[in-house]
């Protein structure tokens, strides 16, 4: 006979002498109440499992047993917080059975208790808050996890940007080209999205500061969730705007007065992102394109792409084609004709961009073959 089981995770440690934050405990068993004309009987079978390397605590075991007796079966225990009765310290635990994502793929060396702990944590990350509770399970199945020791290189500057990363535990340093740490990323922080979306090489080396666990998703699956869940597109729009603002790729005041430049210095995908993220209204003209092609003209209204024309191609097709061009001279002029303020946007920008980068990848693969 198999008894139902529920997991509790230590979410707060107030000087507990035995256990640590993140420790996992399981409660298994049932409680049966029986009544006849002579007596009331309560029969209970409770199994408490604590971390193997830690000592057993009778106080905590008693507290966990009481909650099972209260609800009779483990699967009936609702999501809740409990605090142990305490000795020289106390421990606060949370039941997170409803957050277990059975289909998430982890490395072979991840044990079940650790896996459950990780899945409980990620629901509070900014990335996963973009999804309803019922969708988190579907999204999480696309991710895998990898562990790094202190000083391990996660990704190296110049390598292909093929993955998006979320730090589950630990921290990493962002290291510039001369080997100096320029920032530290911690639990819940993300990286790799700029290289993945822009199809550029990794711009900085990422090195683990301590034992670190990182969730990652490859380009193919990243595109799947971006297409299936529009809310995540807004998350990346805001995230990339923040990244570009920090790096000062192009100053906002330059955009206000118009700007000129070359695609060899700022690739088309980065140029379009800058205009979109800064919610600019104006006309982007691209000339001096290779192979004798005509000019291209794109209209933006508060960052939304509303008109696109490249040579004899219009609409989405023009946008996708211009992304392929490595050379050309561009000019952005603020303002659009009055009649263009009512034109509907061609499509949600981030979705257009990701589809364009997917087509660009396919085109490059075909040329290689």
| pLDDT tens for the chain, residues 1 to 369 | 456 678 888 877 778 888 887 788 888 888 777 776 777 777 778 888 888 878 888 888 888 888 888 888 777 777 666 788 877 777 777 665 433 333 333 444 444 444 444 556 676 777 777 777 677 777 877 888 888 888 888 988 888 888 989 998 889 998 876 566 778 899 888 888 777 776 778 888 899 999 998 988 888 888 888 777 766 766 776 666 565 555 444 444 444 455 788 887 778 888 888 888 778 889 999 998 886 667 899 999 988 999 999 988 999 999 999 998 888 889 988 888 888 888 899 988 888 888 888 888 777 666 655
What values do phi and psi take at 251, rounded to 5? Answer: -70, 145
Angle (CA) 311-315-317 rounded to 5° is 70
DSSP label at residue 342: G
Q: 150-160: buried (b, 16+ CB within 10 Å) or exposed (e) per residue?
A: eeeebbeeeee
Query: Do the Cβ atoms of 128 and 142 come closer than 8 Å?
Result: no
Write down the pLDDT at residue 97. Answer: 44
Q: Which pLDDT does position 110 carry in this prediction? A: 46
Query: Does the predicted model carry a pTM greater than 0.75?
Result: no
Is residue 348 a contact partner of residue 285, using CB atoms and an 8 Å limit? Answer: no
Strand ranges in the chain using DSSP code E only, listed in sequence order:
5-14, 24-35, 40-49, 81-83, 90-95, 144-148, 153-155, 163-169, 171-175, 181-186, 190-191, 205-208, 212-218, 259-262, 282-287, 296-301, 304-310, 313-314, 329-334
pLDDT of residue 102: 32
User: In terms of Cα–Cα distance, which of 329, 242, 338 is closest to 290?
Assistant: 329
For the segment 133-171, what is each residue's pLDDT rounded down to a tens digit?
677 777 877 888 888 888 888 988 888 888 989 998 889
pLDDT of residue 241: 59
| All structural domains of the chain | 5-96 (no CATH), 112-244 (2.60.120.10), 248-368 (no CATH)
- Predicted pLDDT at 278: 77
Which residue's structure tokens are 């061009």? 325
The pLDDT assigned to 42 comes to 75
């Amino acid at each position: 006979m198999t008894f139902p089981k529920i997991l509790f995770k230590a979410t707060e440690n107030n000087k507990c002498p035995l256990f640590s934050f993140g420790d996992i405990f399981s409660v298994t068993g049932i409680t049966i109440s029986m009544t006849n004309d002579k007596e009331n009987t309560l029969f209970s079978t409770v199994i408490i499992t604590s971390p193997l390397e830690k000592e057993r605590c009778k106080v905590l075991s008693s507290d966990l047993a009481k909650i099972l007796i209260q609800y009779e079966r483990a699967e009936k225990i609702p999501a809740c917080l409990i605090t142990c009765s305490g000795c020289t310290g106390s421990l606060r635990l949370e039941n997170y059975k409803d957050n277990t994502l059975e289909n998430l793929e982890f490395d072979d060396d991840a044990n079940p208790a650790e896996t459950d702990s990780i899945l409980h944590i990620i629901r509070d990350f900014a990335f996963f808050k973009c999804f309803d509770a019922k969708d988190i399970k579907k999204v999480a199945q696309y991710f895998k996890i990898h562990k790094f020791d202190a000083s391990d290189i996660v990704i190296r500057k110049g390598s292909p940007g093929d993955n998006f990363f979320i730090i589950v535990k630990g921290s990493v340093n962002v290291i510039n080209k001369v080997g100096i740490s320029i920032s530290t990323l911690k639990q819940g922080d993300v990286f790799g999205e700029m290289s993945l979306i822009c199809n550029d090489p990794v711009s900085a080396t990422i090195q683990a500061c301590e034992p670190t666990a990182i969730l990652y998703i490859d380009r193919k699956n990243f595109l799947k969730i971006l297409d299936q869940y529009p809310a995540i597109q807004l998350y990346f729009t805001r995230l990339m705007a923040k990244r570009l603002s920090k790096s000062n790729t192009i100053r906002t005041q330059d955009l206000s007065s118009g700007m000129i430049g070359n695609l060899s210095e700022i690739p088309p995908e980065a140029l379009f992102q800058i205009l979109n993220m800064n919610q600019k209204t104006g006309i982007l003209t691209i000339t001096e394109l290779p192979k004798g092609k005509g000019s291209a003209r794109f209209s933006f209204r508060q960052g939304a792409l509303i008109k696109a024309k490249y040579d004899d191609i219009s609409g989405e097709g023009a946008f996708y084609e211009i992304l392929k061009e490595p050379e050309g001279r561009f000019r952005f002029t603020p303002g659009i004709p009055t009649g263009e303020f009512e034109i509907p946007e061609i499509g949600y920008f981030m979705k257009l961009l990701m589809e364009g980068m997917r087509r660009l990848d396919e085109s490059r693969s075909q040329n290689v073959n």
